[in-house]
Structure 1
């Protein structure tokens, strides 16, 4: 199975490197600047689960794609989605499966609008990774899982064949028979984590140490899962219990990657992670919506960042 990994950044580069390490037919679709870096320094991963290094990883530029791939693995940031779609479109044939690992749900609409919706799978990943100043991929803890599935539910010959290629590659792979629910479950938790840690500029442990911190986190979580319920994807009891345990862990250093991006003055996925969630709200909120306040906070950051870039 020929696999095209879109980008060789923190997420795509990590999972692509793991697949490459066990002999899968992987090619990285990169821009010229990243291609030059990879030619000079190779692809390197630093991880508690084992370091990897490839002196000459297989790469291709969008203009040089000559034939369709069997699987496109997509893990870009939401604000880069349209550009990514344009770049990998030449690699998509009638039978190409597209596996997006973005957060939220809005990207599915964009992919469905450009490609055959039957070829767009559901997927998500759980990993904390970043690129350092030298372009190396830093895996920050022991979590590195991927969940995939058919959006129509159940199992299929196609998803099992893809799972056979993605499995056994040194990260945790799961096949969900209800991938949309799995994606909603992650979205609810991620939106809570992102809004809470960005609004308070602090990890979970520090928020819990502040007056009203736990109540704020639980209010954000309850709002997010209420929106999921509005859309017929309420998290189950086990998911809720696990999320509440994470959100009430004293001394936890957990933050969202959005906070790291915000503190570094980088672009953030405010609209895709939080704005789109708010847009799907159906039931009224009693009193002040903490989620709406957090969204305003993130959009104010984006406005300030844009203004300073123009100055």
Structure 2
């Protein structure tokens, strides 16, 4: 199976390297600047278990794509989605499967509008990773999972074949019969983490140490949970219990990557992760909406940054 990984940043670089290390046929679609650095230095991934290095990864520029790929793994930021679709469009054939690992749901609408919706799978990943100043991937914790599935639910020969390719590659893979529920579960969790840590400019442990901090996280989570229920994807009890434990851990140093982006004066996914979630609300909020306050905070940052 020919696999095209769109980008060689933190997410694409990590999972693509894991796939390469397991002998899969992987090519990275990159821009010229990234390609030049990778040609000179190779692709390095620092993990808690040790380093991985690919001396000469297979690279391609968009204008060099001549034939379709079997699987396209898409891991860009939401604000880069349009450009990413333009770049990998030449790699999409009638039987190409597109596996997006973006957060939220709005990207599915954009991909369906651009390509045949039958080509677009559901998927999500959980990993804390970043690029260091040398352009190397740094996995910050031992968490590295991926969930994939057919959006219509159930299993198919296609998803089983893709699962066989992605499985056994050094990260945790699940082939889900209800991948949309997994995507909603992550969205609820991530939106809470992103809005909470960005609004308070602090990791979980420091928010919990602040007067009223625990209540802020609780109210954000309940709002996000309620919107998922509005859309017929309420988190199950096991998911709720994990979230409650996570957001009450007074030793947790966790923040969202959105906070790191904000602190680095970088673009953020305010609309995709928070704004689109609010737009899908159906039930009335009792009292002030913490989620809307957090969204206003993020949009004010974007306005100031643009100015």
Deviation at 1:234, TM superposition (A): 0.6
Q: Which shows bigger deviation, 43-52 or 221-230? A: 43-52
Q: Show the 5 A alignment for 1:1-311.
A: 1-307=1-307
Alignment gaps of 5+ in structure 2: none
* Distance of 2:286 and 2:156 partners within structure 1: 43
Match of 1:5, SS state, is strand
What's the TM-score once normalised by structure 1's chain length? 0.98
The number of aligned residues is 307
Moved over 2 A (4+): none
* Distance of 1:251 and 1:3 partners within structure 2: 40
Q: Deviations over 1:225-261 (max 9, x none)?
A: 1000000001011111110110001121011000000
Alignment gaps of 5+ in structure 1: none
Q: Deviations over 1:159-178 (max 9, x none)?
A: 00000000010000011100
Match of 2:50, SS state, is coil
Deviation at 1:16, TM superposition (A): 0.2
* Distance of 1:50 and 1:112 partners within structure 2: 39
* Distance of 1:85 and 1:66 partners within structure 2: 16
* Distance of 2:66 and 2:13 partners within structure 1: 22
Deviation at 1:41, TM superposition (A): 0.9
* Distance of 1:24 and 1:300 partners within structure 2: 44
* Distance of 2:61 and 2:18 partners within structure 1: 21
Q: Deviations over 1:8-51 (max 9, x none)?
A: 00000000000001110000000000000101111010111331
Match of 1:242, SS state, is helix
* Distance of 2:95 and 2:83 partners within structure 1: 22
Q: Deviations over 1:143-202 (max 9, x none)?
A: 000000000001111000000000010000011100000000000000000000000000
Deviation at 1:55, TM superposition (A): 1.5
Deviation at 1:72, TM superposition (A): 0.2
* Distance of 2:50 and 2:149 partners within structure 1: 27
Deviation at 1:119, TM superposition (A): 1.0
Q: Deviations over 1:107-136 (max 9, x none)?
A: 000000011101100000000000011100
Q: Deviations over 1:37-72 (max 9, x none)?
A: 101111010111331111110000000001000000
* Distance of 1:236 and 1:73 partners within structure 2: 28
Q: Deviations over 1:278-311 (max 9, x none)?
A: 000011111110000000000000011111xxxx
Match of 1:133, SS state, is coil
